[in-house]
Structure 1
């Protein structure tokens, strides 16, 4: 049966979105000039105005069907809970204590390696690359001021660690988006993704140790409270144990809040305010997910998704080719939008169609989406991560690119993983039987 070639004109809203967002950034030199939510609102308006054969009521109904898809709504709820946990944990001192704890046990001659390792741990716990960069960049600046270590190298180590957790953390918005769009489990995606990027992390540590040899400084005493590090640790352990992510995040909020009340960081109303602030911090991302979901559904209804699938898959002859197409789709979208979460939300439905058609395990497709979007997000000089680090260090983001070892290496590892079919995943049917057996045993 011949594949539907779809309708290329249906992609016009997506093209307009990219032109508005990317074009404004190129012309102005500031990719924050055009609010991404405004760009997607305009694109959604264009999508609703197209296909005059359909009534406006039908098009609005189609839009709402996509915007209100169970995966989108669940993603929104998880985004809001993740924001609340992050804000509550930060407010009760978890970030500062966790950073200082790690700094206290690092030997002075491994400060840059330590920055990367700390960044990996913090970002894995916090689920945010930007939060990790804001927490660690000042420390990296201080290290460079006290040693002969390049400021750009320090910032690259921070960014590399930040992207480690952005790619893997169970409360990272990129991970949430990848898991939800591919309809897989957080724990399974983590395991698959971790084995792909682990060699990149090890090689990065070796490279950083080599290039920073000889640079060290006297480190002052860092004060920390073990109790304040427990919320991150509890969330990480619970998530890896297979507990539902909503329960993990809700429990993390309660646990961090209880410690905050105990140590005097919060009073009850202050805690509630922090929860509200955390939810509010994710509202834009939640609205983006809803608007993109609706717009993509109209594009799909008008034949745009079929056309993209036809273009991307027409020369695919194997599962490896399909995996490379998923990697290419999300990479191109991230280069255009400079936002890895948005790139995953946009390309996720396409990747799901490709993975279903070519029988790619959803654990692998989710890992590829997250891995390659984070790879490019950690490299591009106009991305928020490099801009934030460069701003805090008062250097050019381009100077950091030379030392972006980890983002480059995860891209290389991703390519190798596709070529050699790594990791070897158990068949989905076998996996389903094992999960059913586990559920029966628990009952």
Structure 2
């Protein structure tokens, strides 16, 4: 892709506004968020973007669309979608979901099941460094718990998304962490420490809120909950490999094979059924993969037409003080994330300007890296057209908009971040200048 910054143009954002209007606005007006398929809304916005910028010929704009959709981060996301879908499908066929749910119902206090989902999500995501792998692995379990209790499925999915975004923001192997420390020139461990003290209160408060919200769920659970520990092993294996720092692609492939082996050994399905389950898992994620590709293409068209440059300038031109600089970094990455629906890409895009702001106003680079990651993760965890909510909503068969009120942690880390800016917490004794090798 062309990395030169196009001339600022606010009108380049119109296609994205049209997408939001069609996708969310139609649901708000009609009360049915399925009335406008997201792919139709997205493709309509792409057609509008292709008709803009008459200085560029149509063939070049189609090439820009293709380059945006084929960005390495987008293709990696598609691979994770497909493999995670296959793992979820095979694990479900092997009985892993039912046994894991029943194990949770047996061991966890019945009024803390949602808190347990959140904590497990935190553990998996900080180990794997990916929110998407966490969501797709845990979403079937959340649905199963919802079906056996009076806990709403949207609430269960919100807890999983909250846990997933915890690790997405903090994990030292997360792509957002890598992008943040690289653009700001700091060590990962230093960014982790600065970030951790800001978001820890939000994580604790999230667990408390989920506990209060589900305090009365105990009465709805009854009967026995038989489980086979062998069927739980695929999820446990994914956790162990993730803790060992294995690449998420290898973790998911290994999970598919292990779950398949368990299913075959226990007679849950035959080899042909195993292949069919992998195929159905891929099929279940095809729409999500297409959304990611087309959205990446739309973002590139908007960038080439000057929309992203306008967002960057709109924020940086208003910075005057150190606190204003920190607020500018937060607003900058948030606006770009709203426009790109990808927190890694938003950090990579906003990072160089954030570095300039931090240097100009003497903002510690550990702090600027933390702010980039915190606010991009916050936005990513609440936008209904982002991959995380779309994936969770797809498994739960509900509208992604219905999940937003229950994405407690992404909301609270934004509040924590704003408070940290206002009170200048945490404070640093020396400016970090060394880069992680």
TM-score class, shorter: 0.7 to 0.9
Gaps of 5+ in 1: 142-150, 334-341, 434-443
| CA distance in 2: counterparts of 1:350 and 1:112, whole angstroms | 38
Deviations 1:243-286 (A, max 9, x none): 11111111111111111111112211111111111111111111
What residue number does 1:283 align with?
286
> Are residues 1:127 and 2:125 paired?
no
8 Å Cα contact 2:312-2:332 kept in structure 1: no
> For residue 146 of structure 2, what is the aligned residue in structure 1?
137
Between the aligned partners of 1:190 and 1:32, the Cα distance in structure 2 is: 40
> CA offset at residue 116 of structure 1?
2.3
Deviation string, structure 1 residues 364-399 (Cα, Å, up to 9, x no partner): 63443233432576xxxx99979998989xxxx79x
1:36-73 deviations in whole A, cap 9, x for unaligned? 11111111111111122222111112222212222222
Q: For 1:194-343, list aligned pairs within 5 A.
A: 197-206=199-208, 217=219, 219-317=222-320, 318=322, 320-326=326-332, 328-329=334-335, 333=338
SS at match of 2:85: helix
- The answer to whether 1:353 aligns with 2:352 is no
Contact in 1 for aligned 2:296/2:340 (Cα 8 Å): no
Distance across 1 between alignment mates of 2:293 and 2:72: 11
1:124-183 Cα offsets, whole Å, 9 max, x none, are 665247534422222331xxxxxxxxx7xx77863552233342467xxxx989679879
Q: How far has the Cα of 1:23 moved from its partner? A: 2.2
The answer (yes or no) to whether the contact 2:159–2:210 under 8 Å persists in 1 is no
Deviation at 1:306, TM superposition (A): 0.7
Please name the residue that 1:162 is paired with: 160
Structure 2: gaps spanning 5 or more residues = 125-133, 183-187, 356-364
* SS in structure 1 of the partner of residue 341 of structure 2: helix
Mark the CA change 1:298 to 1:350 in structure 2 (over 3 Å): closer, same or farther.
same
* Map of 2:381 onto structure 1: 374
Per the alignment, residue 78 of structure 1 pairs with 80
Output the aligned Cα RMSD: 4.2
Equivalent residue of 2:226, what SS? coil
In the alignment of these two chains, the number of paired residues is 390
- Distance in 2 (CA, whole Å) between partners of 1:192 and 1:256 is 38
How far apart are the structure 2 equivalents of 1:86 and 1:390? Answer: 15
Shift of the 373–127 alpha-carbon distance from structure 1 to 2, 3 Å rule, reads same
Q: Which residue of 2 aligns with 1:91?
A: 93
In structure 1, the partner of 2:128 is: none
* TM-score of the superposed pair, with normalisation by structure 1: 0.73
Alignment partners' CA distance in 1, 2:395 and 2:88: 19
Contact 1:159-1:385 at 8 Å conserved across structures: yes
Q: Classify 1:34/1:136 alpha carbon distance in 2 versus 1 (closer, same or farther; 3 Å).
A: same
Q: Cα–Cα, structure 1 residues 288 and 176, in superposed 2: closer, same or farther, change >3 Å?
A: farther
C-alpha spacing 1:219/1:23, structure 2 compared with 1 (3 Å): closer
- In structure 2, distance between residues paired with 1:213 and 1:86: 29
Question: Displacement of 1:119 after TM fit?
Answer: 5.2
TM-score by length of 2: 0.73
Change (3 A) 1:414 1:304: same
> Is residue 344 of structure 1 aligned with residue 341 of structure 2?
yes
Q: Work out the CA distance in 1 between the residues paired with 2:215 and 2:25.
A: 42
- For the residues of structure 2 that align with 1:404 and 1:287, how far apart are their CA atoms? 24
